[in-house]
Amino acid sequence: MTRRSAVPPPVTAVLDASSRWLPVRLGEVETSLRELSSGHGEPLTEAATATLAAGGKRLRPMLVLLCAGGNGGGAAVRAATAIELVHMATLVHDDVLDDAPLRRGQPTVAATSGRPRAVAAGDLLFSRAFALLAEAGDARAVELLSEASVALAHGELAQRHDAFDTGISEQRYLERCRLKTAKLFECACLLGLVATHHPRTRERGRETSGDDERVLAGAEEMAEFGSGIGLAFQLLDDVLDVAGPPERTGKARGTDLLDGTVTLPLIAAAEADSGIRSVDLRSLDAKTAEALCDRIAATGALDEVRSRALEMVARAKEQLESPAFDPEQRQLLGLVADGVVQRYS
Amino acid sequence: MTRRSAVPPPVTAVLDASSRWLPVRLGEVETSLRELSSGHGEPLTEAATATLAAGGKRLRPMLVLLCAGGNGGGAAVRAATAIELVHMATLVHDDVLDDAPLRRGQPTVAATSGRPRAVAAGDLLFSRAFALLAEAGDARAVELLSEASVALAHGELAQRHDAFDTGISEQRYLERCRLKTAKLFECACLLGLVATHHPRTRERGRETSGDDERVLAGAEEMAEFGSGIGLAFQLLDDVLDVAGPPERTGKARGTDLLDGTVTLPLIAAAEADSGIRSVDLRSLDAKTAEALCDRIAATGALDEVRSRALEMVARAKEQLESPAFDPEQRQLLGLVADGVVQRYS
């Protein structure tokens, strides 16, 4: 089982290319995440720290900081911290749902502390995210993050509702991806944008001021960019579940299939090999799940889904041509987009 | 198994005594709660509706509306709805934790829809609460509610940490009650208070204005009142778990003990009957749990805890003498406090 290094390659590329402010702020986010997982008495610390220690790419915080740009300041660091707390909360809760023993190659909170602690730890990370923003008076940020959280929960419920249904449409699958993944990436970009506008000033004149008009103008391109790479990220993640290899993904091939989660690789494969729709996912075991992965791969569906994801990333990068982005943002966000693809190439 | 009527007795007493505005606003809260559990597509509706249908006393919304008083308006209705959504979210998650088959005499979401749906449904109710307040720009309300949610999760983690430990102190138990229960009651009262002050006006001059000084002046008494009856509520609930009868509580006697939750009745009983500390709660079954309930009751501990709770309610009611409350608030909040006691008498 491979362990990720502290700073994964795509992040390194962005950091290498950036000027001094980005690593400084990412460091502040890490400090803030660590602080929020301590100082609450023993039981909380242990559970929250286990989640933090699992690490991750900090992709969403990086999007917040980059969309805020050099002038983001404290509001950008808070927003970056808050969105990662929400992301971590959903990971902890997902692990409870799936009874997953490993996440990123390390034991999950659910596995180490038991389900009750994991549910409460997730709730805590979630609450902390909103408390952090609310205490600082970042009203618009709370609004964006709560909307994204509603979408996340909605997406989770939709996925559970669709479980083991091999007949779901591509459209339904994409809608679930938008809710479960793309919405939070979109939110990250918008959080970055609003962090550059002092919240109280903005709050007062929200419906009327010319300032707000400018926010909305830049918002469309940033939202499109975030949503696009978020969607691509999910598609590529779903390819990885089928393609493996386990020593790179940290989980067995076909884990989604065993959970009953039908994703685009299966849907696309069924176009060429219609018998795939008739497979009873409930009857799968580790061995037959791997065999189904091979059958999906044999149709060429994985390349097809990879191409779709690459197109999405390319379209997302077109958004960066907008005057809403300055040259440094254009370059660094472009590297983040490339990183999403590289991770899976 | 008895079913509660739609409007439980303490609520009826308050409604009978109140002028027209209270029932109207409580009705608006119910409508809002129902709306927030529909219109999101099939899977979400079913899970959220099941939680709503279980009903409840709507004690927290009532506290919000009463502390806001006749001038609370839309902000009070939103805050009352949001706090009930958070309360419902914790109930749904508690049911997941406990694998509880029944809540208020009805099957829980966890039991009917499975654990995954219940975790996601709880997350959704939680997110919806913050989205509702944030969309309306109720910044201070978001701050209060997120702080209370942090306390709730912290309390839950502390309780899990203490599970099966018969040696925990009364002080530790009371601290857990403050986090798990009293804090949300306190929050309800403060939400009512801030709802009477237009959020944007207040937000601007938050650190400096004389207006805010008045908020803080009234806040202390309202917080004390809410916290006091919340604490009493929890103590009486813990008495009920030992005293039963099941046909009234909707759950078997000793359910907390079977879960390993050590509460004040056991702690107080151990003062008179020290052997109780040596009981291994992990080895209990339904029958021996009932026997332990009888042993606790035999020490007179239940009457002792009941008296403590009544004292707390009496002290809470003293807060109502403050000029922060108008005569109608004084009368109706007094009835709510009495209702908390009556429910268990």
A1 occurs within a structural domain: no
Contact state of A123 with B153 under an 8 Å Cβ cutoff: yes
Determine the distance in angstroms separating the CA of B290 from the nearest CA of chain A, rounded to an integer.
Answer: 25
B157 part of contact set with chain A, CB < 8 Å = yes
B304 occurs within a structural domain: yes
B116 part of contact set with chain A, CB < 8 Å = yes
| Residue in the structure block whose two tokens are 């983690």 | B157
Contact state of A146 with B160 under an 8 Å Cβ cutoff: no
Alpha carbons A144 and A129: distance in angstroms, whole number: 12
B245 part of contact set with chain A, CB < 8 Å = no
B3 occurs within a structural domain: no
Contact state of A139 with B135 under an 8 Å Cβ cutoff: no
Contact state of B126 with A126 under an 8 Å Cβ cutoff: yes
| SS3 track for chain A | CCCCCCCCHHHHHHHHHCCCHHHHHHHHHHHHHHHCCCCCCHHHHHHHHHHHHCCCCCHHHHHHHHHHHHHCHHHHHHHHHHHHHHHHHHHHHHHHHHCCCEECCEECHHHHHCHHHHHHHHHHHHHHHHHHHHHCCCHHHHHHHHHHHHHHHHHHHHHHHCCCCCCCCHHHHHHHHHHHHHHHHHHHHHHHHHHCCCHHHHHHCCCCCHHHHHHHHHHHHHHHHHHHHHHHHHHHHHHHHHHCCHHHHCCCCCHHHHHCCCCHHHHHHHHHCHHHHHCCHHHCCHHHHHHHHHHHHHCCHHHHHHHHHHHHHHHHHHHHHCCCCCHHHHHHHHHHHHHHHHCCC
pLDDT digits (tens, 9 = 90+) for A121-137: 889 999 999 999 998 88
pLDDT digits (tens, 9 = 90+) for B326-344: 999 999 999 999 988 886 5
Chain A, window 19-78: residues with a beta carbon less than 8 angstroms from a chain B beta carbon:
40-44, 47
Chain A, window 76-95: residues with a beta carbon less than 8 angstroms from a chain B beta carbon:
90, 93
Instruction: Give residue A79's pLDDT.
Output: 96
A56 occurs within a structural domain: yes
Residue B113 has pLDDT above 60, yes or no: no
Look at A10-19, B122-131, B165-174 and tell me which has the smallest mean pLDDT: A10-19
Determine the distance in angstroms separating the CA of B10 from the nearest CA of chain A, rounded to an integer.
Answer: 31
A158 part of contact set with chain B, CB < 8 Å = yes
Tokens of A325: 């982005």
Tokens of B79: 């805050």
Tokens of B133: 């307040």
User: For chain A, how many structural domains are there in total?
Assistant: 1
The listed range with the strongest mean pLDDT (A176-185, B38-47, B273-282) is: A176-185
B4 occurs within a structural domain: no
Contact state of B154 with A124 under an 8 Å Cβ cutoff: yes
B175 part of contact set with chain A, CB < 8 Å = no
Which chain B residue's Cα is nearest to A98? Answer: B116
Query: Looking at beta carbons, which residues of chain B come within 8 Å of A160?
Result: 43, 114, 116-117, 120
Count of CB atoms situated within 10 Å of the CB of A160? 23
| CA A262 to the chain's CA centroid | 19
* CATH code for the domain in which residue A293 is found: 1.10.600.10
Contact state of B119 with A119 under an 8 Å Cβ cutoff: yes
Q: Residues of chain B with pLDDT > 70: what percent? A: 79
Count of CB atoms situated within 10 Å of the CB of A326? 11
Alpha carbons B101 and B99: distance in angstroms, whole number: 6
Tokens of B327: 């005569």
Determine which helix (DSSP H) or strand (DSSP E) holds B76, and give its type and residue range.
helix B73-98
Look at A117-131, A253-267, B22-36, B245-259 and tell me which has the smallest mean pLDDT: B245-259
Helix B210-243 vs helix B264-272: crossing angle, to nearest 10: 60
ipTM of the complex, rounded to two decimals = 0.83
Determine which helix (DSSP H) or strand (DSSP E) holds B74, and give its type and residue range.
helix B73-98
Residue A341 CB contacts under 8 Å (≥ 6 apart), including other chains: A232, A236, A309, A310, A313
Alpha carbons B3 and B263: distance in angstroms, whole number: 26
Which chain A residue's Cα is nearest to B151? Answer: A124
A161 part of contact set with chain B, CB < 8 Å = yes
What stretches of chain B adopt beta strand conformation (E)?
Answer: 102-103, 106-107
Instruction: Give residue B20's pLDDT.
Output: 79
Q: List phi, psi (to 5°) of A134.
A: -70, -40
Tokens of A259: 């959970």
Query: Looking at beta carbons, which residues of chain B come within 8 Å of A44?
Result: 153-154, 157-158
How many CB pairs (< 8 A) connect A and B?
164
Contact state of A137 with B97 under an 8 Å Cβ cutoff: no
Contact state of B93 with A143 under an 8 Å Cβ cutoff: no
Determine the distance in angstroms separating the CA of B313 from the nearest CA of chain A, rounded to an integer.
Answer: 29
Count of CB atoms situated within 10 Å of the CB of A55? 17
Where b means 16+ CB within 10 Å and e means fewer, A283-315 reads ebeeeebbebbebbbebebbebbbebbbebbee
Determine the distance in angstroms separating the CA of A90 from the nearest CA of chain B, rounded to an integer.
Answer: 9
pLDDT range class, residue B215, cuts 50, 70, 90: low
Q: List phi, psi (to 5°) of A103.
A: -140, 125
Count of CB atoms situated within 10 Å of the CB of A203? 19
Residue A246 CB contacts under 8 Å (≥ 6 apart), including other chains: A252, A253
A60 occurs within a structural domain: yes
Which chain B residue's Cα is nearest to A125? Answer: B150
Identity of the residue in B42, B47, B115 whose CB atom sits nearest the CB atom of A97? B115
CA dist list (Å): A161 to B71, B107, B113, B114? 43, 19, 10, 11
Contact state of A134 with B152 under an 8 Å Cβ cutoff: no
Cis? peptide before B245, omega within 30° of 0: yes
Alpha carbons B73 and B192: distance in angstroms, whole number: 10
Alpha carbons B119 and B123: distance in angstroms, whole number: 6
A164 occurs within a structural domain: yes
Determine the distance in angstroms separating the CA of B140 from the nearest CA of chain A, rounded to an integer.
Answer: 7
Q: List the pLDDT tens digit at each of the 345 positions of chain A.
A: 333 334 455 567 777 777 778 888 999 999 998 888 665 555 555 656 666 666 677 899 999 999 998 878 899 999 999 999 999 898 888 776 655 555 556 666 655 556 777 888 889 999 999 999 998 888 899 999 999 999 999 898 888 888 899 999 999 999 999 999 999 999 999 999 998 874 443 443 344 444 454 455 688 999 999 999 999 999 999 999 999 888 777 778 898 998 889 999 999 999 999 999 999 998 888 899 999 999 999 999 999 999 999 999 999 999 999 988 999 999 999 999 998 888 655
Residue B115's domain comprises 9-342
The β-bridge partners of B103 are: B106
Comparing CA positions, the residue from A63, A27, A335, A68 lying closest to residue A193 is: A68
Determine the distance in angstroms separating the CA of A334 from the nearest CA of chain B, rounded to an integer.
Answer: 31
Contact state of A160 with B120 under an 8 Å Cβ cutoff: yes
Report the phi/psi class of residue A261: left, alpha or beta, with left for phi > 0 and alpha for psi in -120 to 50: beta
B210 occurs within a structural domain: yes
pLDDT range class, residue B172, cuts 50, 70, 90: very high
Alpha carbons A243 and A249: distance in angstroms, whole number: 10
| Residue in the structure block whose two tokens are 């701050």 | B143
A154 part of contact set with chain B, CB < 8 Å = yes
Determine the distance in angstroms separating the CA of A299 from the nearest CA of chain B, rounded to an integer.
Answer: 32
Instruction: Give residue B128's pLDDT.
Output: 92
CB contact at 8 A, B116 and A83? no
Comparing CA positions, the residue from B119, B138, B232, B131 lying closest to residue B185 is: B232
